[in-house]
Amino acid sequence: MSRSLVLVVVALAGLTFAQSMTAQDRDHAFVILRGRAVCLDAFDKPIDSPFACSETNPRFGFASKDGKLYRFPRTDSMITVFTDSRVRERELQITARLRESNQLETIKVQSIKAGKLYDIYYFCDICSITAYTPGLCPCCRNELEFRETAP
């Protein structure tokens, strides 16, 4: 097969893939951001204190190092990690899908210490269960232990 024919086949395959993506998929880019998780008030403005989040109606955002403020939709199941004040106190790296209106759909949350990335998770030593949000172990009902480990 000639080189030019191979290039044409590859180009057509790429065009077919691009056409198969929905407009929504093309509009929602994956982003990696560094900054801090913040609590938001009713007007989506950051609350200064890391302990000021309302436990009954928490709203979270992400203040990136470049000064932009992003919001997390309440339907994002990963945002419960931000109910832990230890996570909100840390510098974080968020891997997410950027949605309309500067909303982030969380894929991965990592902490940054001394320039190195650490995976954040919760673990039960008794049951060997790992979770990505704080709370009780679904097996023994003991509190899950907060952990950070290098990937």
Write down the domain spans for the chain.
Answer: 29-149
Strand partners, 116: 113
Q: Which two tokens stand for residue 113?
A: 């210490």
Task: Give tens-digit pLDDT for 80-92.
Answer: 999 999 999 999 9
Residue 98: is it exposed, middle or buried by C-beta count within 10 angstroms (0-12/13-18/19+)?
A: middle
| % residues pLDDT > 70 (the chain) | 76
Share of the chain above pLDDT 90, in %: 62
Phi-psi domain of 115 (left: phi exceeds 0; alpha: psi -120 through 50; beta: other): left
The rounded distance, in Å, linking the Cα atoms of 149 and 99 is: 29
Q: pLDDT band for 43, please (50, 70, 90 cuts).
A: confident
Q: How much is the average pLDDT of 35-58? A: 79
Residue 81 burial by Cβ neighbours in a 10 Å radius (0-12, 13-18, 19+): buried
pLDDT given for residue 52 in this prediction: 67
